Amino acid sequence: MARLKLKEHVINREWCKGCGICVHFCPKKVLELDSSEKVVAVRPEDCICCKLCELRCPDLAIEVLTTDDVPAEKKSADDDLITDDVLADETSTDDVLTDQDDSNE
């Protein structure tokens, strides 16, 4: 799998309550609280894009954008494709089972 590359940390300073959860969970010590008790990415070059900060923030105040992130519109189109594939797979499995049932009779 290709390694994700950081585009930017999007921090909503109004929503950040300075709890420090993201700072604590970041395995690379990328994040710190500033003098206003708001999170800042002080070492973005060390970020490995694990998104733990984003996943653990209770206030959705931090988002990790990577170069692989696709616009929401394209994402939903891709999801439709995946759904169609899954449906096609389910249909073909049913066919196989039906064939086997027939051969047993």
- Summarize as ranges the residues that interact with ligand SF4 (CB under 6 A): 16-22, 25-28, 30-31, 39, 47-53, 57, 59, 61-62, 64
Min dist CB 82 to ligand SF4, Å, is 25
Q: Tell me whether residue 100 is exposed, middle or buried, using C-beta atoms within 10 angstroms of its C-beta: 0 to 12, 13 to 18, 19 or more.
A: exposed
| CB nearer ligand SF4, residue 15 or residue 85 | 15
Question: 59 vs 84, which CB is nearer to ligand SF4?
Answer: 59
**Nearer to ligand SF4 among residue 15 and residue 88 (C-beta):** 15
H/E stretch holding 65 reads strand 62-66
Residues 83, 70, 20, 24, CA torsion sign:
positive
